[in-house]
Structure 1
Amino acid sequence: MILVTGISGGLGGLIHRGLSARDGLDVAGGTRSGDGVRARRIDFDDPASLAAGFHGVDVLVFVSAGYAEDDVVLARHGAVVDAAEAAGVRHVVYTSLARSGEPLTIAPPHRWTEARLAAASFEVTILRNGLYAEIPAGLAVLGAATAAETG
């Protein structure tokens, strides 16, 4: 079985719908509030949910944890890797950055996660996602608001 995390988000939802549309694939989805019917409960901030949620999963599509302080993201990602190993997941596909070495403020947690995945007991595929359009757009809006406030 393939499990896609973060299916209530834009990227996770697209991946889940795309895989689910393919004949012959057993695909499940996970969200923080999973209902147990349409989606498993996969809450990166609740490691107990990961242990139960990863049961029976062969391939985990691990959509990164999103925006938070680095220590929070590292804890979330570490919990996912630990739970995937404990559950016997055979392959993890991780959504990282286009270039994990870029000097972006969001890059260090991705680099750390990639290293942690490389040291794990399962096969790993790293997807090199580009920045999502909402990131530069959001930065532009924030910059414009700051400029308007400060002159």
Structure 2
Amino acid sequence: MIVITGAGGQLGRLVAEALAERVPPAAATLATRDPAKIADLAARGFRTVRADFDDPASLDAAFAGARTVLVLSGDAPKDVRIRQHRAAIDAAKKAGVGRIAYTSFTNATPASLFPFAWIHADTEAYLKASGVPYTILRDNQYAENLTNALARARDSGVLALPGAAGKVAYITRADIAAAIAGALTGSGHENRTYELTGSEALDLDEIAEVLARKRGMAVKAVDAGPQEFGRILASAGLPPFLVEALIGLYAAVAAGEYAAISQDAERLAGRPIEPVSAYVARVG
């Protein structure tokens, strides 16, 4: 049995879809805080259970009998997420699972300018120290992170984000999900760390050029100031911890932390990965 935490989220749902292409849905358990939100997946044959990283008993029940557990990284302040991830690892170890897979992030080191990298560094170290065989899946930035900026650029002719000169090997959620499904169902992935990136790395000028060709219009890339960017995020209702994290994320982009390209995602997915230029041309 494969158990997926956070199955109600965007990536969790896509992982379930990708798994269903490889194994019968009955071979997977989808765990989420509110199983009612994934009733459609239960109707397809997946077992669904309640699991909350802050409720150890729910984790014990969700992981019972599991062969592999996928811990999808949560969304909370640093200290909360570190505690929650450790709790999930502890519960999986207690349940005697054969392997724990974890969705980490590119350049998961305390030296990163991205504050959430510290969370992933702690979780990776804690997972390795648990003694349970592991698979670490380091996701680069989602290509979907560009969607709002691309929409604004269609109206204004200006593509504005901080860290404009930094190249990023963006990868779509669907491609990440396919790679994760391959790592969960394939063999030989114990005690391995994979870098899940797109097949090319582009800076904002290059992305603007792709959008300009697609729309037949001039598009100018602008390096948005972090303070103004932070005010925009705050005005959109994002909590302070997330505003701080996103400002740090783009500082990391500017520093070149996400430019490296790996073929791990393509190998795990068993198919080509959509280049970010193709994504921009498709949605732009």
Offset at residue 6 of structure 1 (A): 1.1
Aligned to 2:221: none
RMSD after superposition: 2.8
Residue type of the partner of 1:17?
Answer: E
Q: 1:55 to 1:99 in 2, by over 3 A?
A: same
Aligned to 2:216: none
Larger Rg: 2
Aligned to 1:61: 70
Aligned to 1:143: 229
- 2:114 maps to which of 104, 111, 117: 104
Aligned to 2:55: 46
Aligned to 2:22: 22
Does 2:93 match 1:85? yes
SS in 2 for 1:128: strand
Distance 2:101 2:15 in 1: 11
Aligned to 2:35: 34
Distance 1:97 1:81 in 2: 17
TM-score under structure 2 normalisation? Answer: 0.47
Distance 2:61 2:9 in 1: 21
Distance 1:32 1:50 in 2: 10
Post-superposition CA distance 1:31-78 (Å, at most 9, x none): 11125x831111112121101110111101111112x21110011001
Runs of at least 5 residues in structure 2 that lack an aligned partner in the other structure: 43-47, 150-160, 162-227, 236-284
Q: 1:45 to 1:135 in 2, by over 3 A?
A: farther
Offset at residue 87 of structure 1 (A): 0.4
Which runs of 4 or more aligned residues in structure 1 lie more than 6 Å from their structure 2 counterparts after TM superposition?
none
Distance 2:83 2:98 in 1: 22
Deviates more, 1:11-20 or 1:126-135: 126-135
Aligned length: 147
Distance 1:23 1:116 in 2: 30
Distance 2:108 2:56 in 1: 26
* Aligned 1:97-136 pairs, distance under 5 A: 97-101=105-109, 102-133=112-143
Q: 1:17 to 1:87 in 2, by over 3 A?
A: same
Distance 1:111 1:56 in 2: 28
Runs of at least 5 residues in structure 1 that lack an aligned partner in the other structure: none
Post-superposition CA distance 1:5-35 (Å, at most 9, x none): 1111111111111112324571111111125
